[in-house]
Structure 1
Amino acid sequence: MLALSLASLAQVSAAPVAEALQRPAVQVKAPQRAALLSAAMAGNRIVAVGERGIVALSDDAGRSWRQAPSPVSVTLTTVRFSSARQGVAVGHGGVVLTTQDAGASWQLRLDGKRLAALTLEAAKAADSAPETLREAERLVADGPDKPLLDVLVWDAQRLLAVGAYGLAVHSSDGGQTWQPWMSRLPNPKGLHWYVARRQGDTLLLAGEQGLLAFSDDGGQSFRALTSPYQGSWFAGELQTDGHIVLAGLRGQVWRSTDAGSGWSALTNPVPATVTAMSPAPGGGLLLASQSGALLHLEGERLRPLPTPPLTLPAGLLTLPDGRLLALGLAGLSTLSLPAP
C-alpha cells in the first residue's frame, strides 16, 4: 500500500465510499495502466487489484491483461490466494471479496457497514467496558469509511483481514460469517494495521507508530512486541527460516532472528520510505522504496539494483519465470532482474 495513501486514510469521506459499495467496478480499456496496489498468483494466472474496484488478469505471464468484473468500485488494497482457484481481496469501505474461479468472478462477503454492526453486537454480547462500547457505537455512526489493508489466508475457509483504526475480522467459513478480533489484539490506541504475514502457526501484524503483534499459536492469542522503531511499518516478511524483516518510514529496515525479542538495524543506502517487499527469486528479499529504487536484501546487506526507477511502487510480485512484477500509481511493469 502506498505510504502517501495511508497517511490520508482518515480523510476518506463515508458518503462516496457508501455509494461506491453499491456500484460495480468501472470498466477500463487498459486495466494494467490503472493504479494497482497488489497482485498474487492463482495457479499460472496473475491477479492484480487496485483503484475503483479494478481486477486485472493475465494468463500469459503479464504480457497481456484483461479486466474481470468486480461488485464494488472502492479501491482494493490486497489480494491473496490459498489455492489456484480460491482467493480473497480486501479494500476500502471494509470490503472483503472472495473468488472460487481464479479471479474471474468475485462475491462480496463483507463491507464496512456490516463490519461495524458486528463489532457493536460483539461488544454488547461481551458486556464490554463503556469505552469499548462507545468505540463500537462510533464505528457504526461513522459509516463504512474505513479500509481493510491486508489479509491472511490459511486456506479457502479461514481468513483474517486487518486495516485502519485497528480493524481486524476473522472468518472460519470462507467469509460467510465473521468475528471481530479487535479485542484479541494488543492495540489499545486503535492504530492502523498495515502488514499481516503468516508462516504456519506464526502470525505477524505490523502498523502505525511501530505497532507490532505476534502469535505463535495460529492466532489464538497475540502478544505485543517491543518495536525497535516508533515510525510506521509499511512492509514486512516472515521468512521460512523464522526471521522477521520489517521496513517503513525513512528507509528503516530491521531484522529479528528470535521471534521479535531482539532487533538489528540494516543499513539502507536509499533513505526513502519502503513501500513494498517480496521474496527474491534467487533468495533473500526485494524491497521497493518511494524514491523508485529497487533493493535486494541478502543476509545483512541491502544492495540497490540497476533497474529503471519505479513510479511510487505499491506492491511487488516475483513471477514463476524469475521476472518481477511491480505495481503502483502508474500501473504494472515487469522487470528482468540482474544476475546476483
Structure 2
Amino acid sequence: MTSFRVRIQRQSLAMLVACVSSTSMATAWPAPVGDALERPAVISQQTPHAVLLGAAQAGQRLVAVGERGIVVISDDGGTRWRQVATPVSITLTAVRFADAKHGYAVGHGGTVLATDDGGETWERRLDGRRAADLALAAARNRGDAAALREAERLVADGPDKPFLDLLLLDAQHAVVVGAYGLAFATNDGGKTWAPWIERLDNPQGLHLYAIRRQGEHLLIVGEQGLIRLSKDGGQTFTQVQTPYPGSFFTAEFITPNDIVVAGLLGNVWRTQDAGTNWTQMTVPVPASITASALRPDGALVLVNQAGLVLGERNGTLVPLSAPPLPPLNSILPKQDGTFLTLGIHGASLVPTGDHK
C-alpha cells in the first residue's frame, strides 16, 4: 500500500541503504546465509553510522535499534556507542524501556526481543510464526469465520510482517502493534502473548503505526486515518474520526483529552476534547512526519523526512534545528534539553535549538 511504502522510509529505509552501505558494514568473514530470524546480527565497527530507527532511555543509558538487528548502547549521553549482540539480523523498528533494566524491541518478521539487563543481552520473546499460530488459535476459539480466514492467511504467509511500535505498561505488561493490523499483548514479560486484533475493529487490516498511553487511555494510530482510542486500559476501543483520511505515523497524548496525531505529507492534527473536534497545525514544509516525542517539560517535538526537528510555538510548528539534518526516523528528548535524533547516518545529538 502507498502509505506503507512511505512509512518504510522511517521504519525500513534500511532496506534501500543496506544495498549501498553493505561494504562499510562488511567483516572479514561474511555471516552465514540463512533465515534472518535465526541469524545473529553481525558485529561491526561501523554500526553507529548505520540506519537507526528507534531509541529509548534505560536509566542513564541510551539504547538505539535499527537495520539488520542492530542494537547500540551509549553510557555517556550519546557521544560514544557500542554494539551489543542480538539473536536476529532483521530490521528492528522501535525500542522501549519500562525501567533501567527491562526493555523490549520490535521489528520485521513479527519479532519481539527483550532484555532484563539494560540492553546488554537480548532474547527473542515472539516472532511472526508464533504470532500467526496465536491468532489462528484465538480465531478458532471464538468461532469467527472471517478472523479464521485472516489467521490462516497469516500462517500461510509466514513471518513477513513487521511490528512497528510498542507500549510498555511496566516490565511485565506490553502491547506491540504493526503492519496489517497485527496487535499482541503480554502480561508476563513476554512468556505468553494474546492477540488484540479483534479489539480494534480493523476488518481491512490497516497498518498500525504507533501506540501511546496516558493513564487508562490508550491510543493507536495507523493507515488511512485510523485512530482507535481506549479509556479502559485497552479492554475496549472506539473509532475516532478526523478530517484527514491519510496515514498517521505517530501520536502523542498531551493530556488524556489533548491529543496530537501526525503523518503523511506533514499533516498534524490536534484535538482537545478526545477527538470530537480537530484543528490542523501549520508546518513549515509538507514533508511526512516520521516520529514525535514529549520533552521533559511536556512540550511537543516532531521530526520529518526533510530533516527538521519541529516544536510548537503559539499553535504553529517551527524548526528547532538549523540547518536541516538528513531525513530523520526518530527523536528522543534528553533530560539536559538536547535531542538525540536518528536517521540514515546513525545517531546525532542536536542542541535544544529553540531556534527563532
TM-score (norm 2): 0.89
1:29-68 matched pairs, under 5 angstroms: 29-68=45-84
Whether 1:150 and 2:153 are equivalent positions in the alignment is: no
- Tell me by how many angstroms 1:282 deviates: 4.9
Report the identity percentage: 52
Indicate yes or no: 2:333 matched with 1:330: no
- Counterpart position of 2:304: 289
Match of 2:21 in 1: none
Q: CA deviation at 1:317?
A: 0.3
Select the residue among 7, 13, 26 that pairs with 2:42. Answer: 26
Amino acid in structure 2 at the alignment position of 1:3: V
1:174 shift after superposition:
0.7
Matches within 5 A, 1:128-143: 128-129=144-145, 131-143=146-158
Q: Cα deviations across residues 213-244 of structure 1 (Å, max 9, x unaligned)?
A: 00010001101111221000012111246410
What is the aligned partner in structure 2 of residue 166 from structure 1? 181
Matched-pair contact (CA < 8 Å) for 2:262–2:268: yes
CA distance in 2, matches of 1:337, 1:303: 13
Distance (whole Å) between structure 2 residues aligned to residue 239 and residue 306 of structure 1? 22
The one-letter amino acid paired with 1:193 is: L
Instruction: Give 2:271's aligned residue.
Output: 256
Determine the C-alpha separation between the residues in 1 that align with 2:343 and 2:45.
18
SS in 2 for 1:269: coil
295, 312, 315: which one aligns with 1:300: 315
CA contact (8 A) 1:284 1:299 kept: no
Could you say what secondary structure the match of 1:138 adopts? helix
Query: What do the CA deviations read for 1:126-151 (whole angstroms, capped 9, x no partner)?
Result: 1112x221111010000000000000
Q: State the alpha-carbon separation in 2 of the partners of residues 162 and 283 from structure 1.
A: 25
**What is the aligned residue count?**
333
Which residue number in structure 1 is paired with residue 282 of structure 2?
A: 267
Cα distance in 1, alignment partners of residues 11 and 153 from structure 2: 20
**1:338 Cα shift?**
2.5
Letter of the 1:284 partner, please give it.
A
How big is the shift at 1:123? Answer: 0.7
Q: Distance in 1 between matches of 2:243 and 2:292?
A: 19
1:201 to 201, 216, 241: 216
Match of 1:185 among 200, 205, 225: 200
CA distance in structure 2 between the aligned counterparts of 1:142 and 1:339, rounded to whole angstroms:
47
**What CA distance in whole angstroms lies between the structure 2 residues aligned with 1:2 and 1:275?**
13
Q: Which deviations, in whole Å up to 9, do the C-alpha atoms of 1:99-119 show, x marking residues without a partner?
A: 111100111000000000111
**In the TM superposition, what is the alpha-carbon distance from 1:299 to its structure 2 partner?**
4.5
Unmatched runs of 5 consecutive residues or more in structure 2? 16-32
1:218 matched to 2:221? The reply is: no
Bigger shift: 203-212 or 291-300? Answer: 291-300
Equivalents in 1 of 2:122, 2:239: separation in Å? 35
Residues 2 and 312, structure 1, Cα contact 8 Å, conserved in 2: no
CA shift for structure 1 position 32: 1.6
Farther off after superposition, 65-74 or 272-281: 272-281
Q: What is the rounded CA distance, in whole Å, between the counterparts of 1:119 and 1:206 in structure 2?
A: 21
Question: Which has the larger displacement, 72-81 or 269-278?
Answer: 269-278
Assess, with a 3 A threshold, how the Cα gap between structure 1 residues 241 and 298 changes in structure 2: closer, same or farther.
farther
Could you tell which deviates more after superposition, 18-27 or 68-77?
Answer: 18-27
Structure-1 residue corresponding to 2:6: 3
SS at match of 1:120: helix
The one-letter code sitting in structure 1 at the alignment partner of 2:216 is D
The 1:7–1:337 alpha-carbon spacing in structure 2 relative to 1, beyond 3 Å, is: closer
How far the C-alpha of 1:6 sits from its partner, in A, is: 6.1
1:71 paired to 2:74: no
Distance 1:115 1:73 in 2: 19
Matched, 1:237 2:240: no
Report the CA distance shift for 1:8/1:326 in structure 2 as closer, same or farther (over 3 A).
Answer: closer
Structure 1 position 339, deviation (Å): 4.0
Instruction: Note the aligned Cα RMSD (angstroms).
Output: 2.0
Q: Distance in 2 between matches of 1:212 and 1:283?
A: 22
Structure 1, unmatched stretches of 5+, are none
Matches within 5 A, 1:310-321: 310-321=325-336
Instruction: Tell me how far apart the structure 2 counterparts of residues 183 and 97 of structure 1 sit (CA, whole Å).
Output: 24
TM-score by length of 1: 0.93
